[in-house]
């Protein structure tokens, strides 16, 4: 998407794991995919929005162009 000129990338809910209760704890919060998205946002200079499971909540995380976590919203 970034190669095509996009500056904002939205990932679907639970994009990095199977949608099952057993997989939520493995991929929740600060999983390896969090670091990967942070690095990708910085290297491609894009904003990335993704959702994850954060304890008992479905949480939206926003990574800015500098790779930092700009905010979280618990849905």
pLDDT at site 55: 65
d(CA 5, CA 33): 23
pTM score > 0.85 for this model?
A: no
CA 13 to each of CA 5, 24, 43, 66: distance values in angstroms, whole numbers, following the listed order: 23, 12, 23, 23
Strand order across the 8-10 sheet: 8-10, 47-54, 57-63, 69-74
Q: Per-residue pLDDT for 3 more than 80?
A: yes
Region 3-9: what's the mean pLDDT?
95
**Every domain of the chain and the residues it spans:** 2-66
Q: For 12-57, what is each residue's pLDDT tens digit?
A: 877 777 777 777 777 766 678 888 999 999 999 999 998 876 666 7
> What is the phi/psi pair of residue 73, to 5°?
-135, 120
Residue in the block written with tokens 């990932």: 11
d(CA 7, CA 45): 7
């Amino acid at each position: 998407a970034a190669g095509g000129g996009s500056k904002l990338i939205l990932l679907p809910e639970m994009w990095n794991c199977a949608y099952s209760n057993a997989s939520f704890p493995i991929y929740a919060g600060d999983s390896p995919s969090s670091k990967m998205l942070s690095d990708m946002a910085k290297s491609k200079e894009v904003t990335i929005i993704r959702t994850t499971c954060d304890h008992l909540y479905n949480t939206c995380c926003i990574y800015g162009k500098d790779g930092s976590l700009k905010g979280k919203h618990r849905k």
